[in-house]
Amino acid sequence: MSKIRDDIEHLHQYGIYIPTKTILITGEVNEEMYERVMSNLHILDSTTGEITIKLKSEGGDVVDGRAIYDAIKNCKNAVRCIVYGECSSAASFILQAADTRIMTNNSFLMLHVGEEGHTINHPRNIERWHEFYRYLETWSEDVYLARIKEKKKRFTRNQLKSMLQWDKIIKPKEALELGLIDSIGEIQ
């Protein structure tokens, strides 16, 4: 019995708790997070039943965030994501991949179009990176807009662009009204 308990505690250190099919996603979105989440999703998606993600992140790398988004979208099981505290930047569109999206009462979202950080000083490279970042900006707008339009059919891309000109802090009530989450509250 001690070996099983040690194994469960060891897995819990990696952000996965198998008995409740729960994954903990915290901290900066980066390659390490991507690898951990992918492994954890693979383990939990190999069984049946809803997967729960508990999310608290300041965001980070948009490419790793998109990879996590795709991994969640491709789960055969339903995925429920619960936001605790901060869910910013790349983490905010990771949230959008879940089938059920919940924010706790004291949490918040921060949406923005992100920043360019990989430009190399040769003019052709700068142009290519700018083109790629415009593509990423459009992709994140598409993710947010699709979820918002589920609830607000007449919401336009221009309204979203206006909202995203600067970092947009969104409290749970506004997120619910926009359709970026499905419910508010403390969840077990």
State pLDDT tens for residues 36-63. 999 999 999 999 999 999 999 999 998 9
State what percent of residues in the chain have pLDDT above 90: 64
Element at 140 (helix H, strand E): helix 123-151
pTM of the model: 0.82
Q: What is the pLDDT of residue 122?
A: 63
Contacts of 160 (CB under 8 A, 6+ apart): 141, 144, 145, 148
| CATH 3.30.1540.20, applies to 2-184 | no
Residue 104 reports pLDDT greater than 50: yes
Confidence bin at 1 (pLDDT 50/70/90): very low
Mean pLDDT of the chain: 87
Pairing verdict, β 108-111 and 51-60: unpaired
Sequence ranges of the domains in the chain: 2-184
